[in-house]
Amino acid sequence: MLSVDDLIGDLQACLHETSPVVAVRDVLARVCARPDELAEALPPNRSEIEVLYGAPDLTVLKVVWGPGMAFQPHNHLMWAAIGIYTGGEDNTFYRRTDQGLAESGGRELRPGDVCLLGDDTIHAVVNPTRQHAGAIHVYGGDLIGTPRSEWTPDTFEESTYDVTAMHAAFAAANSQV
């Protein structure tokens, strides 16, 4: 049986490693290799973002994307590691240009996959599956307290990340299921 407290402890211990993000990747790979246990410990029953742990040097979130849910381009301004245990998370990556943003690749994540993001990553997310996509998102800093940016998907106009709109998007996804 997977213990969320033990998982948080393992992730905190990663901060003392030579390369914390690589250590976090290894922890996520280990727990995401047991998706049924992770889904039992952190049920992906509804669209949500739940803070499992938050500190100045580490944020751990349970993120559940609803079926078909899409989220606009945004940044984190710190490294991140994403581990998927149900559903799917397709990422489209962007880079800044003189004209705004330009697509620069993507990555499809499915149960058991782990993806590392650098501190300058800008990405958009969609759950292409018909089930809730359960994920553990780990950030190398205080994601909640860090001012960051988001971009409108059609014009790529940059604005301050809107936490209220983010919560509304998850609520809307729950009302559609």
Overall average pLDDT of the 36-61 stretch: 97
What's the pLDDT band for 87 if we cut at 50, 70, 90? very high
Q: Which of 174 and 135 is assigned the larger pLDDT? A: 135
Residue owning tokens 């604005």: 159
pLDDT higher than 90, residue 177: no
Rounded Cα–Cα distance for residues 143 and 157 (Å): 22
Rounded Cα–Cα distance for residues 105 and 41 (Å): 33
pTM comes to: 0.95
Task: Give the tens place of pLDDT for each residue, 27-40.
Answer: 999 999 999 999 99
Contact 137, 61 (CB under 8 A): yes
pLDDT higher than 90, residue 93: yes
Smallest CA-to-CA distance from 92 within 117, 114, 67 is with: 117
User: What is the per-residue burial (b if ≥16 Cβ within 10 Å, else e) of 118-132?
Assistant: eeebbbbbbbbbeeb
Domains in the chain with CATH codes: 4-176 (2.60.120.10)
